[in-house]
A and B are shown apart, each in its own frame.
Chain A
């Protein structure tokens, strides 16, 4: 689905079903150098089980226009997209950088946010100075490094989006595509700088009205499961830990879906 926000194209995948704003909504927000396709299994499942799904491409990513935004601004953008789509209520699901953006969107939506699911998250989401320097100097090398750190195995089953795909190769190709596709600057640097700069947890948490779930990877080398104490203090979330790395949606697609389903529920109608 294509909308117009702030004068730019705003794309959201609707899960392979026509979008119906009268259904309970679920909004998926991807992380750095990613797009909607990282949520393909979870979003497609929910769209075929009674939910109105919007898996967004953030500004400057994939099919959406504009320039990459900081976390707070991106949260406003997501809240605006929910408004523009006609959804009255929506659960917000975000991964990594997208988890912080989903938090900001949930804060802005207040009572219209049904649930918040933060996947592969940490706070503060510090990025090492060495990685930021590397992505300025040699973005392909930085992508390779982040890709290696994001995947805990070369044999995740049943693979994503299906058998025969290399999760490691697919993730690298997607990050390269996003970096190459944004012609106006260094998207890697913009995204990782946004993660590093975000300091709005307490302010956002004060506005969040919905139940919160954290879905963490026990072998996550990007956002360590040990680095969520401030979030637990601020949001009192339910915590689900899966035996995988940072690329949770690909390494444990069913585990992530189950964690989301427990929050948003599904209906049998297809």
Chain B
């Protein structure tokens, strides 16, 4: 396939990592639902276990179907490789657990998915990993929060819930000045909208549950390494630069100049924590990835129409979408996200929680559930669901109003979505 230039994104989305199956001629990627893989001999087994040969041993560590997904996402991101995980949360945990241990420190954006915040603030602190949270736009705060034991800076390409655009070039420069990598959650943007490695990020993860799979059918994650961060030069990562007793004294940074992080993540984190992906899930995500360019284009086109409708509606107090001039990151978004700012955003209905609930209940096409990135349009009212225990003051500090509604725009006819929203807004007005 290679000629004198790299294939385009759409071609890689269909072909990277996969070729017709040499055993059967199958053109589509086969689902290798096999726990283990037969050794040719005892000597072959030993050399696979000792990383003298490449190959598959046991599907918790690697699997041929998963490998296609991993290599395809790596190609789309412009990275060196990837690891498929049981969920986006498992991918985040794998990244942190590979680089940090008790006594380590992480600097993270405040604008995070609630699950990521829980992991950092509550769960990892129980294991001795401390996190300092900083406002994503406050570059001085990122810099000031870095300590000698900091192992990672972490943010979302589009932060939750206000779609704060992470200034990856500047935050990554701050990280690199300190010898620390930048990890980004690129779930909302996918590589079709943004390639974080080109902007300076070092590690990327996705909840593949969302746009990558795109059909609301699976739970999965992918962790990708850009291969540019120099773990040896940093001096902070003995896990990668010193012998590892858990793998015959292997020094990962000697084994692979660009890929020691992925080697350790697979041979320690995936092996020992076991957060692996089912090959069936990998296959379903691959079906989604093959149409990712087509879907993302439509997701964004529909979102723009819906945003325009809502921004001009009398019952709407404000729409948080970076393509609007009113958004604080409008200029940055034009630079970093020229193809669009995704298909998940929030807006505020004028009124109370009652109006918010009435709006949700009047919708017919939008599905009321806790997910985003489906081909179907989705809606949730945080004040009455995910954040219902908070009073209004606590909601405001989280950037959520009593009438805040989060939408994930799907692939339906945009006119039908707008009709549905218009009808529900009328219902909210009357409630």
Query: Could you tell me which A residues sit within 8 Å of B by CB distance?
Result: 13, 16, 35-37, 40-41, 44-45, 48, 62, 144-145, 148-149, 151-155, 157-166, 168-170, 173-174, 176-177, 245, 253-254, 257, 268, 270
In the complex, the chain B residue whose C-beta lies closest to that of A144 is B6
Is B263 interfacial (CB 8 A cutoff)?
yes
Partner of A170, one of B54, B64, B84, B259: B259
Is B2 interfacial (CB 8 A cutoff)?
yes
Partner of B71, one of A152, A155, A257: A155
Partner of B75, one of A35, A41, A157, A169: A169
CB pair B74–A166 under 8 Å, yes or no, is yes
Is B70 interfacial (CB 8 A cutoff)?
yes
List 8 additional contacts besides A154-B16, A166-B82, A169-B80; criterion CB under 8 Å: A16-B248, A16-B251, A44-B255, A45-B53, A163-B64, A164-B66, A164-B84, A165-B74
- With A152-B2, A173-B227, A177-B257: A161-B7 Cβ-Cβ less than 8 Å: no
Is B390 interfacial (CB 8 A cutoff)?
no
B30-48 vs A, Cβ < 8 Å mask (1 yes, 0 no): 0000000000000100110
CB pair A268–B43 under 8 Å, yes or no, is yes
Residues of B within 8 A of A270 (CB): 46
Is B262 interfacial (CB 8 A cutoff)?
yes
Residues of B within 8 A of A44 (CB): 50-52, 255
Task: Return the 4 tightest CB-CB contacts between A and B, nearest first.
Answer: A173-B227, A165-B81, A45-B52, A164-B70
Residues of B within 8 A of A153 (CB): 1-2, 19
CB pair B2–A166 under 8 Å, yes or no, is no
Chain B residues 215-233 with CB under 8 Å of chain A are: 226-228, 230
Most buried by A among B4, B53, B227, B257: B257
CB pair B54–A161 under 8 Å, yes or no, is yes
In the complex, the chain A residue whose C-beta lies closest to that of B17 is A155
- B264 → A minimal CB distance (Å): 12
In the complex, the chain A residue whose C-beta lies closest to that of B56 is A163
Residues of A within 8 A of B66 (CB): 163-164
Inter-chain CA distance A169–B52, complex, in Å, is 21
- With A45-B47, A148-B3, A166-B79: A158-B56 Cβ-Cβ less than 8 Å: yes
Is B242 interfacial (CB 8 A cutoff)?
no
CB pair A149–B2 under 8 Å, yes or no, is yes
- A245 → B minimal CB distance (Å): 8
Is B15 interfacial (CB 8 A cutoff)?
yes
Inter-chain CA distance A270–B46, complex, in Å, is 10
- With A165-B81, A169-B74, A253-B53: A155-B16 Cβ-Cβ less than 8 Å: yes
- B320 → A minimal CB distance (Å): 35
Residues of B within 8 A of A245 (CB): 2
Most buried by A among B1, B18, B226: B1
Partner of B250, one of A16, A168, A257: A16
- With A159-B67, A163-B56, A166-B75: A16-B226 Cβ-Cβ less than 8 Å: no
Is B318 interfacial (CB 8 A cutoff)?
no
- B173 → A minimal CB distance (Å): 15
- With A149-B4, A154-B12, A155-B17: A166-B71 Cβ-Cβ less than 8 Å: yes
Inter-chain CA distance A145–B4, complex, in Å, is 6
In the complex, the chain B residue whose C-beta lies closest to that of A151 is B2
- With A154-B75, A166-B75: A41-B80 Cβ-Cβ less than 8 Å: no
- With A163-B67, A173-B226: A148-B257 Cβ-Cβ less than 8 Å: no
In the complex, the chain B residue whose C-beta lies closest to that of A14 is B254
Inter-chain CA distance A107–B5, complex, in Å, is 38
Most buried by A among B2, B47, B78: B2
Number of interface residues of B (CB under 8 A): 57
Inter-chain CA distance A34–B257, complex, in Å, is 10
- With A16-B255, A162-B266: A169-B6 Cβ-Cβ less than 8 Å: no
- With A164-B71, A164-B83, A166-B80: A48-B2 Cβ-Cβ less than 8 Å: no
Chain B residues 73-121 with CB under 8 Å of chain A are: 74-75, 78-84
Partner of B227, one of A161, A170, A257: A170
CB pair B228–A41 under 8 Å, yes or no, is no
Residues of A within 8 A of B2 (CB): 148-149, 151-154, 168, 245
CB pair A48–B50 under 8 Å, yes or no, is yes
Residues of A within 8 A of B149 (CB): none
Is B371 interfacial (CB 8 A cutoff)?
no
Is B62 interfacial (CB 8 A cutoff)?
yes
Residues of B within 8 A of A163 (CB): 54-56, 62-64, 66-67, 70
Inter-chain CA distance A29–B55, complex, in Å, is 25
Is B256 interfacial (CB 8 A cutoff)?
yes
- B312 → A minimal CB distance (Å): 44
Is B258 interfacial (CB 8 A cutoff)?
yes
Inter-chain CA distance A13–B254, complex, in Å, is 7
Residues of B within 8 A of A41 (CB): 51-54
Inter-chain CA distance A177–B70, complex, in Å, is 22
Residues of B within 8 A of A257 (CB): 53
CB pair A173–B228 under 8 Å, yes or no, is yes
- With A148-B5, A154-B16, A163-B62: A170-B258 Cβ-Cβ less than 8 Å: yes
Inter-chain CA distance A173–B81, complex, in Å, is 11
- A253 → B minimal CB distance (Å): 6
- With A149-B4, A153-B1: A165-B71 Cβ-Cβ less than 8 Å: yes
CB pair A162–B3 under 8 Å, yes or no, is no
Residues of A within 8 A of B78 (CB): 169
B318-353 vs A, Cβ < 8 Å mask (1 yes, 0 no): 000000000000000000000000000000000000
- B47 → A minimal CB distance (Å): 6
Residues of B within 8 A of A254 (CB): 53
Inter-chain CA distance A257–B44, complex, in Å, is 13
